[in-house]
Amino acid sequence: MEYSGASGAASGGDEQITSNSSRRKGKKKVYHRHSPNQIQQLEAFFKECPHPDESQRIRLSRELGLESQQIKFWFQNKRTQTKTQSERQDNSTLRAENERIQCENIAIREALKNVICPACGGPPFGEEERQHSLQKLQLENAQLRQEHDKVSALLAKYAGKPVDALLGVNPPPLNFSMPTLLNPIGIKNPAVGRQLNSIGADFFSLAPYQRQVIPEMEKALMMETAATALDELIRLLQNNEPLWIKVSSNDRLVIHRDSYEKSFPRYSHFNSPGARVESSKDSGLVTMNGLKLVDMLLDSNKWIDLFPSIVTKASTLQVLEPGTRGNRSGALQLMYGQMHVLSPLVPTREFFFLRHCHQIEAGLWVIVDISYESMKDRVLNSRCWRLPSGCMIQEMPNGCSKVTWVEHVEVDDRNQTHRLYRDVVRTSSAYGAQRWIATLERMCERMAFSARLTVPANEPGGEGRRSLMMLGHRMVKNFCAILSMTPKLDFPHLSEVNNSGVRVAVRNNTEPGQPSGLVVSAATSVWIALQPQSIFNFLRDEKTRAQWDVLSSGNQAQEVGHISNGSHRGNCISLIRPFIPNENNMLLFQESCIDPLGMVIVYAPIDLPSLNVAVSGADSSNIPILPSGFIISSDGGHPDSAAANGGGASTSTANSKRSPAGSLLTVAFQILVSTPSGPNELNMESVATVNTLISSTVQRIKRALDSNMD
């Protein structure tokens, strides 16, 4: 059975139903006209089931009073009609889309005819103009090469080496001091030293982004890059599965690569076999107002103060957008940052990146960092790329803030990380979100203790207490900074192959708040088969200090002052009298810090007059202080006996004292050297002194820990 026309199925109740058999015989047999109610029921059933089986057709024929064949052919015609209407609609849509694309192509062709060069405002170059411009650029390049050779010759004249041998092919990006190149150890004339420093400061500056205005076109590209990164970070912050999965070994969150690449397809920035991606996510509650935390993260100097154990150097190159007054929403900055692990065995990581702040709603901010493409080659030997990373800050009603942190970095590890720190770096304990959150929680707690109104009776008054805490913070910050030693040592003969692995560097110190003159710093990292807490308790206890401190001469030290700066009893500032012979006027100013990922013990000698200045509440920023100390952390895994032996312990000791997991101990000392008769004698004498000091201290600590833990 079928309707007399394709349109009959929808023409109302006047349709006339004929038999197929009658049509084949040339006769038109009319059964009857059906009612609108029958059509309505057939239409309703078609929406639910366009392909009824035999039993459904029989049921419909009984209900509607129609033959089964009539039902069958009605559904066939209805399906054909529906398909025809759908195809007609698709064709209309495609035809409209095609017309729209044609109009866009015509508009683009017209726009290309009138395009101008954004640099000069002129019409696009033809082939002849392009060749002329290429020749002009080649001539300018040759002139710049000649100027580079002149400056290189001038620098090499005083440094004694070609400049490319000292720094590599590309100059460093920022106006940082270059101790290896510009160190005036071998320069006898101070005027020449000042001239050389001036030349270096001008030659190694990042002029295009520090002194010039960024073009509007590039600024628009930066804003688009930051906005795209912000959208990606918000999704990473607000979602867990399937973008994030939990690693069973240490219960941390990492990005699921397949799910991420489906949502955010991107190309790899490094193609070497050592390239890898590090990702992590963590959250915590910090005792700081949300807007104050946002302001600190957008200020490069305060950013270093907030993360002194992670950020070594930072600079705001350009403020592209200051943000809305009162909430900083919309702020966009081009920044430089250098980050490190507190060990001389792990190289630093350098980034040029955009930092963008956006307020989602009242009391909720997101700050995103993203490496900027055009700055990729400006960092000397840069082997890291910052994918969208950052934090979400949610203001809580009690003056605290909930912070959720995401770290996502692509790393080109061409030179394998030192075996002692390989597990620490690869498990994101070194640079991961957990470390940022733990450091932020600790520093916010320290600031809260510094600002509290009530002071315990056994501690100095409010102003004196804050002055001493500022002095302690500066001491810890300076100590962390000296540990970011470059792989190129000032004294390469003190390498790990020929020696105990002590890294030594010499600098001419002119920074305020530190003793002026030549300073020799040395550091080493070793593995010890004990838990970090045991080593921390031993080194922090003044009663056991005589067992490792060579300055104590075997005499027991005494704590004469104490300031708590955290809820854990290990977070404090101590004044220690070390009983050094003929030094009754000298104390040790010490600060110890502990968080879930590591411990820090930093100390420096301080004379009584300087201490009295700080206790009185006066400004302590000019008190000269030269810190030394220890960094203690978990080893991140289960090192083998070779790693333990490489750390300086004997094989027998490492095997006999083997524990399921050990600790990494970094020891760093600094000494101020007076001017000798000759620079070569000074260097070797100073190096020998500090090398002996640090090696003997490490051996004393190991022997004392062995005897105390028996």
In this predicted structure, what is the pLDDT of residue 379?
47
Q: Is 287 helix (H, G, I), strand (E, B) or coil?
A: coil
CB of 574 within 8 A of CB of 550?
A: no
Asked whether residue 444 falls in the same domain as residue 473, the answer is: no
pTM, 2 dp? 0.67
Asked whether residue 371 falls in the same domain as residue 502, the answer is: no
Residue 595 β-bridge partners = 598
Residue from 586, 558, 587, 562 nearest 573 by CA: 562
Asked whether residue 441 falls in the same domain as residue 469, the answer is: no
Q: Which two tokens stand for residue 710?
A: 């028996």
In this predicted structure, what is the pLDDT of residue 2?
38
Asked whether residue 430 falls in the same domain as residue 526, the answer is: no
Q: Which two tokens stand for residue 445?
A: 């707690």
In this structure, the number of other CB atoms found within 10 A of the CB of residue 429 comes to 24
DSSP 156-195: HHHHSS-HHHHH-SSPPSS----HHHH-GGG---HHHHHH
In this predicted structure, what is the pLDDT of residue 15?
43
One-letter amino acid of 58 = I
- Residue 551 within a domain: yes
Cα–Cα–Cα angle for 420, 336, 365, nearest 5°? 95
Longest Cα–Cα distance of the chain, Å, equals: 132
The contacts found for 431-434 with CB under 8 angstroms, 24 or more apart, are 431/278, 431/310, 431/339, 431/341, 431/349, 431/407, 432/252, 432/278, 432/280, 432/282, 432/407, 433/280, 433/281, 433/282, 433/405, 433/406, 433/407, 434/252, 434/280, 434/282, 434/596, 434/597
Give the position of tokens 């059906």.
Answer: 34
Task: Give the Cα separation of 7 and 199 in Å (integer).
Answer: 90
End position of a domain, from candidates 431, 451, 471: 451
What angle, 0 to 180 degrees and rounded to 10, lies between the N-to-C axes of helices 54-64 and 36-48?
160
Question: E strand or H helix at 235, and its extent?
Answer: helix 216-238
Asked whether residue 492 falls in the same domain as residue 388, the answer is: no
End position of a domain, from candidates 110, 144, 163: 110
- Residue 552 within a domain: yes
- Residue 574 within a domain: yes
Asked whether residue 445 falls in the same domain as residue 492, the answer is: no
Residue 183 has φ and ψ, to the nearest 5°, of: -65, 125
- Residue 102 within a domain: yes
Which residues, at least 6 apart from 88, have a Cβ–Cβ distance to it below 8 Å?
Answer: none
- Residue 516 within a domain: yes
Q: Which two tokens stand for residue 154?
A: 């001038």
Q: What is the mean pLDDT of each run of 10 residues along the chain (710 residues)?
A: 37 42 44 66 84 85 81 86 89 89 84 61 61 79 75 55 45 32 31 33 42 76 92 92 81 89 82 83 94 95 93 92 91 92 86 94 95 62 85 92 95 76 79 93 91 66 85 93 68 46 81 82 90 92 88 79 89 86 79 90 92 87 91 70 32 38 89 59 69 88 78
Asked whether residue 415 falls in the same domain as residue 279, the answer is: yes
> Which of 351-379 are b and which e, b meaning 16 or more Cβ less than 10 Å from the residue's Cβ?
bbbbbbbbbeeeeebbbbbbbbeebeebb
In this predicted structure, what is the pLDDT of residue 452?
73
Asked whether residue 375 falls in the same domain as residue 414, the answer is: yes
Task: Give the Cα separation of 35 and 15 in Å (integer).
Answer: 9
In this predicted structure, what is the pLDDT of residue 10?
37
Asked whether residue 251 falls in the same domain as residue 385, the answer is: yes
Task: Give the Cα separation of 569 and 245 in Å (integer).
Answer: 35
Under the phi-then-psi rule, with left for phi > 0, alpha for psi from -120 to 50, and beta for the rest, what region is 225? alpha
Half-sphere CA count of 666, side-chain side, radius 13 A: 29
DSSP 647-669: TT--HHHHHHT--SS-EEEEEEE
Terminal CA-CA length for the chain: 100
DSSP 327-396: T-TT-EEEEEEEE--SSTTS--EEEEEEEEEEEEETTEEEEEEEE-GGGTTTSTT--EEE-SEEEEEEE-
Strand locations in 596-678 (E)? 598-607, 628-634, 663-673
- Residue 321 within a domain: yes
Task: Give the Cα separation of 3 and 69 in Å (integer).
Answer: 12
Residue from 164, 138, 441 nearest 285 by CA: 441
Task: Give the Cα separation of 276 and 49 in Å (integer).
Answer: 53
In this predicted structure, what is the pLDDT of residue 76?
87
Polymer length of the chain: 710
CB of 648 within 8 A of CB of 526?
A: yes
- Residue 341 within a domain: yes
Which residues, at least 6 apart from 68, have a Cβ–Cβ distance to it below 8 Å?
Answer: 54, 57, 58, 61
Q: Which two tokens stand for residue 56?
A: 């459904």
**CATH code for the domain in which residue 622 is found:** 3.30.530.20
In this predicted structure, what is the pLDDT of residue 220?
87
Cα–Cα–Cα angle for 367, 368, 373, nearest 5°? 150
Residue 69 has φ and ψ, to the nearest 5°, of: -70, -35
Residue 603 β-bridge partners = 590, 628
End position of a domain, from candidates 61, 79, 110: 110
Tell me how many helices (H) and strands (E) the chain has. 21, 21
Task: Give the Cα separation of 173 and 203 in Å (integer).
Answer: 10
**CATH code for the domain in which residue 99 is found:** 1.10.10.60
Residue 683 has φ and ψ, to the nearest 5°, of: -60, -50
- Residue 18 within a domain: no
Residue from 662, 602, 599 nearest 632 by CA: 599
CB of 637 within 8 A of CB of 661?
A: yes
Strands of 2-3's sheet, edge to edge? 2-3, 16-18, 30-33
As for how many domains the chain has, the answer is 3
Asked whether residue 483 falls in the same domain as residue 565, the answer is: yes
Under the phi-then-psi rule, with left for phi > 0, alpha for psi from -120 to 50, and beta for the rest, what region is 250? alpha
By residue range, what is the domain housing residue 87? 37-110
Task: Give the Cα separation of 176 and 195 in Å (integer).
Answer: 16
Asked whether residue 472 falls in the same domain as residue 618, the answer is: yes
Asked whether residue 558 falls in the same domain as residue 592, the answer is: yes
